[in-house]
Amino acid sequence: MKKITSIAAALALVGGFAYAKEVKIGVVLPLTGGVSAFGETSKRGLDVANEQNSKLSNGDTVKLIYVDDRSDKVEAATAVKRLLDKDKVSVILGEVASSNSMAMAPVAEKAKTPMITHASTNPRVTKGKKYVTRACFIDPFQGAVMAKYALDSGLKNAVVVTDAKQDYSVGLSKAFKKAYTAGGGKVVKTILINSGDKDFNAQVAAIKAANPDIIAFTGYYNEAALLAKQARDMGVKTPFIGADGVGFPELVKIGGKATEGFMYTDHFNEAAASSPEAKAYVDAYHKKYNKTADSMGALAADAYGMILQAMNKCIEDKKGSDNKECINKNLRATKGYKGITGVITINENGDAVKSAVINAVKNGKFEYKTTVNP
């Protein structure tokens, strides 16, 4: 009995956390496949955030468990099941692509497990869901920002390029068209493409014939780069505007000089990082990777930070750090969270209300233009 008492006493002295445990966050990302750049940069941001803070207020340690869904929605849903059944995670973080997040959401809902996507912007990701939250703005806002910037720049006639295979692109196109026409713009043509396409000669010919003031591209970076390159090769000089799906170094790596001037809405630019939280993250990111901190990593780090805040509130309320219902309740109640990408408030739908930035490619780099508030 004396031995047991002395061991308990010794444990109690170790930081005051005798009963600290490991709390698991399951992370589903496209680490391979068509949009692997999204997953790779998200993981970098999460690793930085976890290294900055992996301890909860009661001494529990937060562990990230990664699963690669290979940029596939069926794999994404399967990944959630594995993380819940095998790894017994308390929260799901992911995915990036809206289609994949929509495949994951029903699994999380059925298991009554909180899920937070850091980058899926299609409104249907959270629609009607009780356990799905997001750390990013949604497409109606992003589409409106695209439209307003184009119109304010005097670009009154647009061709809209939509990726028919991506829910993200379809929803974003709809949002852009609504805001653009409401603001006095005219959509002269809608052109469909498919993820994985390489040859856009037919689409470029249609764009050239339409002779628009602006090309609104609503898909991802691979197709954006190839379309821009082929358009410039065919003599099309019309400016492009896109959204957060194009803002990756791969855009310039693939498209080269053809992407010069490509404008897009995004969630973050380190040039606009002014808060202490953002500066600390950017400094840590530079130190670890010797690279510019990108928006996808920053969003992932914000989602991670929101989870930790929710868990700490559960500890404060004596519910336990891994109480799924409590974590979900606190995620949904997030107000004025000071994140890396800005101040985040979650509304009644589980969506983040926050600002957006406009960036443009200049000399092969992503230059910050302005910030647009909701």
What's the mean pLDDT when you consider all of the chain? 94
Q: Residues 231, 258: contact at Cβ < 8 Å? A: yes
The answer to whether residue 54 scores a pLDDT higher than 80 is: yes
Two tokens, residue 209: 């014939």
- The burial class, CB within 10 Å (0-12 / 13-18 / 19+), for 198 is exposed
Q: What is the mean pLDDT of residues 197-225?
A: 97
Looking at per-residue pLDDT, the higher value among 374 and 265 belongs to 265
Which pLDDT belongs to residue 296? 96
Q: What is the pLDDT of residue 186?
A: 98
Which tens digit of pLDDT belongs to each residue from 305-325? 999 999 999 999 999 999 999
CATH code 3.40.50.2300 for 141-266: yes
CATH superfamily, region 13-137+274-355: Response regulator (3.40.50.2300)
Residue 3, pLDDT score = 42
Q: Does the pLDDT of residue 20 top 90, yes or no?
A: no
Q: How far is CA 98 from the centre of its chain?
A: 9
Strands 263-266 and 356-362: antiparallel
Tens digits of per-residue pLDDT, 60-116?
999 999 999 999 999 999 999 999 999 999 999 999 999 999 999 999 999 999 999
Residue ranges covered by each domain of the chain: 13-137+274-355, 141-266
Q: What is the pLDDT of residues 331-359, one digit of tens each?
A: 999 999 999 999 999 999 999 999 999 99
> What does the pLDDT look like over 147-204, one tens digit per residue?
999 999 999 999 999 999 999 999 999 999 999 999 999 999 999 999 999 999 999 9
SS3 22: strand
Nearest to 261 by CA among 357, 155, 360, 151: 360
Is pLDDT above 50 for 11? no
Q: What is the pLDDT of residue 374?
A: 83
The residues, any chain, with a CB within 8 Å of residue 230's CB and separated by 6 or more, are 199, 200, 201, 204
pLDDT of 6 over the 80 cut = no
pLDDT at position 220 over 80: yes
Q: Model confidence at 373, in pLDDT bands (50, 70, 90)?
A: confident
Rounded Cα distance, 70 and 356, in Å: 28
pLDDT level of residue 19 (50, 70, 90 thresholds): confident
Mean pLDDT score, 276-282: 96
Q: Do domains 13-137+274-355 and 141-266 have the same CATH topology?
A: yes
Is the pLDDT score of 17 beyond 80?
no
Res 8 pLDDT > 80? no
pLDDT at 10 over 90: no
C-alpha dihedral over 297, 302, 307, 310, to 10 degrees? 180
Q: How confident is the model at residue 9 (pLDDT cuts 50, 70, 90)?
A: very low
Q: What's 55's DSSP letter?
A: B
pLDDT of res. 4:
41
Inform me whether the pLDDT recorded for 1 exceeds 70.
no
